[in-house]
Amino acid sequence: MSRFTLTRREFVKGCGAAAVVGATGSTMLFSEDAAAAVNPYDTVVHLFLRGGMDGLNLVVPISGDDRTFYEQARPDLAIAASGTYGALPLTLSTNAATGFGLHPSATGLRDLWNSGRLAIVHAAGMSTTVTRSHFDAQLSIDLGTPGKFGTGSGWMTRAWDSRPAGTPAATMPALGISGTQPAGLMASTAALTMSSASDFQLNAGAWGWQMTRPDSPAGLRGVNETLASLWMGNSALEKNGNRADAALRLIKQQTYGALPAAWPTGSFAQQLWTIAQSIRFNLGLRYATLDLGGWDTHEGQGTAGSGYHYYQNKIAELSQALTAFFNDLNAGGEMARVTVIVQSEFGRRVRANANGGTDHGYGNPLLVLGGPVNGRRFYGTWPGLNPETLSPTFGDVPVTTDYRRVFSEILVRRMGNLNLSTVFPAYSGYSPLGIVQGTDLAVNMAAAQSLPMTAASGASAAMVAQAAEASSHQAATQTPDWQRRGPVDRMITRRER
């Protein structure tokens, strides 16, 4: 049998060819086995909490007027300010009180905060587009083009494609942990997608016929071996099939293992463990993305310590897995070059509904954790919960920091990517908040403008005109003009479950 060879460029471009062997459970390629040295490059992990996470249940006001407003708006959902099931107070490095605490199930996140490796951005989100639709908001964020859905590529795809000249080649520069290609990696020929490493195999048909095994009948040639011999021609189909077969072979060279005993169990922890191993294998991973769903709680949301504990369990799952991920990579030295972004498409309404839940809202906390993070502090502007303050945004926490401002800082300071106009077209409001360590250089940024709001976002012509005049930098310091009540139409939204 002749030995198959494949250049790195051909290998990376062939990642999409796994569709040719449609019976595979995933679409992922791997390089040779892990290098022992700690990775010399940075990795950004984007965790999307799909469903609209209730930020006021995770990051809780525990003192002052906001505590009073919070209890008035949520008499049956409010997390206690103290006690057995009370919020975990967040203090600055000087031990000064911040007026906020974390949900009592988020002990791991509290410990990361205290170690200076977790930062929280107040009232983050899309400052130029208003929508209560999960699908519109999620797609806007994944594409990096709020209010515009015709973009043919995801923001992570453009981030890698616009990387600085001289960036070393990577066998696996981008990874999506999903059954299908994440929208943030749309149009990427370099991105690799899988549900789990163990699923990446050709497993159609009877188990005994899939491949030749030690206990196979003499002379049996399995489906995998048979297909491999069919891809030796020069047609496009054969070339792609050949690359897909190379991917199946290469994955076997990686030493992906079971969850360590110190990790929590469950699919979300397993997905984070897959990313942790991929980082450790030194495959050149620069961008990774995964989801944790189940945050859409219109009814029966529950609180801590009494009643239905849905959110208590969800936050525990989030906190425990992120803590295990951090601790594992930190022990090996890799976490010094890893930044994790945790966000949801929007927050929930401040006021509880009649069904013991919360409906779709707007501004929400955004978490950033990792070795390069300047943590144990809040960033952005907290607008407060005074009903008069929330009135212009119909009772929602407004967005005061555009999420792209946070992403842009990480791209510039950690990834050395100055092409912000390519990654986030039409975004012009970047200035660093100081969330992560790194060097600031002159960036490539779009001229001051905003993407047009769509009818789905419920924007009137007056709102569109005003949004075009308000930069994201202004949004980071005050409630934007276009959010204020005036002669504009009310938002047109769909209630989603």
| Distance between CA atoms of residues 113 and 107, nearest Å | 10
Do residues 252 and 29 make contact, with C-beta atoms less than 8 angstroms apart? no
User: Within a domain: residue 293?
Assistant: yes
Q: Residue type for 152, please?
A: G
Q: Residue type for 173, please?
A: P
Q: Which helix (H) or strand (E) segment is 379 a member of?
A: strand 377-379
Crossing angle between the packed helical segments 107-114 and 310-332, to the nearest 10 degrees:
40
How far separated are the first and last CA of the chain, in Å rounded? 56
Q: Identify each DSSP E strand in 116-195 by its residue range.
A: 118-125, 174-177, 191-194
Instruction: Say how many C-beta atoms besides its own lie within 10 A of residue 428's C-beta.
Output: 17
| Distance between CA atoms of residues 79 and 101, nearest Å | 10
| Distance between CA atoms of residues 393 and 491, nearest Å | 10
**Structural domain range at position 145:** 35-170+267-483
Q: What is the DSSP string of 301-335?
A: ---SSSS--HHHHHHHHHHHHHHHHHHHHHHHTGG
User: Within a domain: residue 46?
Assistant: yes
Q: CA 293: distance to chain centroid?
A: 11
Backbone angles phi and psi of 298, in degrees to 5: -80, -15
Which neighbouring-strand residues pair with 78?
A: none
Q: What is the DSSP string of 39-106?
A: PSS-EEEEEEETTT--HHHHEEE-SHHHHHHHHHH-TTTPPBSSSTTB-EEEE-TT--EEEEEE-TT-
Per DSSP bridges, beta strands 287-292 and 43-49 are parallel
If one counts the domains in the chain, the total is 1
Interval 216-272: pLDDT, tens: 888 888 777 787 777 778 888 887 777 666 656 666 677 889 999 999 999 999 999
User: Within a domain: residue 181?
Assistant: no
| Distance between CA atoms of residues 348 and 363, nearest Å | 8
Q: What is the DSSP string of 202-263?
A: B--S-GGGSS--TTSPTT---HHHHHHTT--SSSHHHHHHHHHHHHHHHHTTS---PPPTTS
| Distance between CA atoms of residues 92 and 430, nearest Å | 26
| Distance between CA atoms of residues 476 and 185, nearest Å | 27
Integer Rg of the chain from CA: 24
pLDDT score, position 244? 66
User: Within a domain: residue 448?
Assistant: yes
Q: Which residues of the chain have pLDDT under 50?
A: 1-36, 448-497
| Distance between CA atoms of residues 307 and 219, nearest Å | 63
Crossing angle between the packed helical segments 267-280 and 310-332, to the nearest 10 degrees:
20
Residue 51: burial class (beta carbons within 10 Å; 0-12, 13-18, 19+): buried
| Distance between CA atoms of residues 210 and 367, nearest Å | 44
User: Within a domain: residue 52?
Assistant: yes
| Distance between CA atoms of residues 140 and 149, nearest Å | 7
Q: Give residues with Cβ within 8 angstroms of 68, minimum separation 6.
A: none
The one-character DSSP state at 154 is -
User: Within a domain: residue 398?
Assistant: yes
Look at residues 38, 109, 119, 114 and name the one whose alpha carbon lies nearest to residue 336: 38
DSSP, collapsed to helix, strand or coil, labels residue 427 as coil
Interval 44-65: pLDDT, tens: 999 999 999 999 999 999 999 9
CA contacts within 13 A on the Cβ side of 109: 26
Tokens of 249: 């072979």
The CATH number of residue 116's host domain is 3.40.720
